[in-house]
Amino acid sequence: MNRTTTLALSAILLAATAVVAAVHAATRGSGERPDDVERSTAEIARLPVAYAWAVDGKNIDDMMDIFAENAVYDLSAYGHASVAGRAAIRELFLRSVFRAEQCSFSSISNVRVEVHGARASGADYFVHLGYRDPSYPENTRHYVEGQHFYEFVREGGRWKISRMLGRPTFETTETFAPEGLRHCP
């Protein structure tokens, strides 16, 4: 083995040791092993995606399944007051959010999760396209991109959203030719 190969292998071993040490430091005192943190991270990362599918499908049961009992849902950036508690979140969706558009298509990306024992935090980027909002002229698409910020908590042995804040970065509307909209239940 030549000196270059030895140095390269040493660098790889040092990097791997640093990763293990960082995971250990992040979980120290939490009682969670690194594989538990990975499992929690994966479970939590599915929650924002489940949220987008529930919004687009107007599925209130799936929506309520991802929120903690005392969750806070903050859409103040959209002109809605923050609501607290699963019952209030349910009412907001049924009376306002689901009625705002005939159909929508949402995309969630770059989900970031940080686990801290029985609590976690995170964020994502989103793009939301809403069609046929009754507050806009006929054949108008509402386009929003931005970020969501989250706090998560374990409840009943499962991770749930305990706080969600939507922060739009860009928002616009545009008209479209009705024949271009091929699927809008």
For the domain that residue 91 is a member of, what is the CATH number?
Answer: 3.10.450.50
Tell me the CA distances in angstroms from 49 to 8, 34, 43, 173, one per residue in order. 39, 24, 11, 24
Owning domain of residue 4: 1-30
12 and 71 fall within a common domain: no
Instruction: Band the pLDDT of 96: cuts 50, 70, 90.
Output: confident
Q: How far apart are CA 116 and CA 39, in angstroms?
A: 13
Kindly tell me if the per-residue pLDDT of 18 is higher than 50: no
pTM above 0.85, yes or no: no
- Could you tell me if 36 and 2 lie in one domain? no
- Same-domain check for residues 12 and 59: no
User: Considering the chain, what is the average pLDDT of its residues?
Assistant: 85
Residue 117 covered by a domain: yes
Number of domains in the chain: 2
Whether residues 10 and 80 fall in one domain: no
**Claim to verify: residue 94 and residue 169 sit in the same structural domain:** yes
Task: Evaluate whether residue 113 is within a structural domain.
Answer: yes
| DSSP conformation class of 50 | H
Q: Assess if residue 96 is contained within a domain.
A: yes
Residue 57 counted as domain residue: yes
Q: How far apart are CA 5 and CA 27, in angstroms?
A: 33
Specify the amino acid at residue 12: I
Identify the three-state secondary structure at position 65.
helix
Q: Are 21 and 41 contained in the same domain?
A: no
64 and 141 both lie in a single domain: yes
Looking at the predicted structure, is the pLDDT value of residue 98 above 50?
A: yes
**105-120 mean pLDDT:** 95
Higher pLDDT, 33 or 32: 33
pLDDT band at 5 (very low <50, low <70, confident <90, very high): very low
pLDDT for the residue 132: 87
- Do 135 and 62 lie in one domain? The reply is yes
For residues 10 and 91, state if they share a domain. Answer: no
In angstroms, the CA 158 to CA 40 distance is 9
Verify that 20 and 96 share a domain, yes or no: no
Sign of CA dihedral 106, 52, 162, 89: positive
Statement to judge: residues 109 and 140 lie in one domain: yes
Residue 125 lies in a domain: yes
Report the pLDDT averaged over residues 112-125. 96
Q: Which residue has the tokens 């049924």?
A: 94
Cα separations in angstroms, 117 against 11, 46, 114, 152, 178 = 31, 18, 10, 11, 50
The answer to whether residue 105 sits within a structural domain is yes
Answer whether residue 185 is part of any domain.
no
42 and 74 both lie in a single domain: yes
How confident is the model at residue 147, as a pLDDT? Answer: 97
Tell which residue, 66, 94, 95, has the closest CA to residue 163.
66
Burial class (CB in 10 A: 0-12, 13-18, 19+), 49: middle
Cα gap 29→111, rounded to integer Å: 25
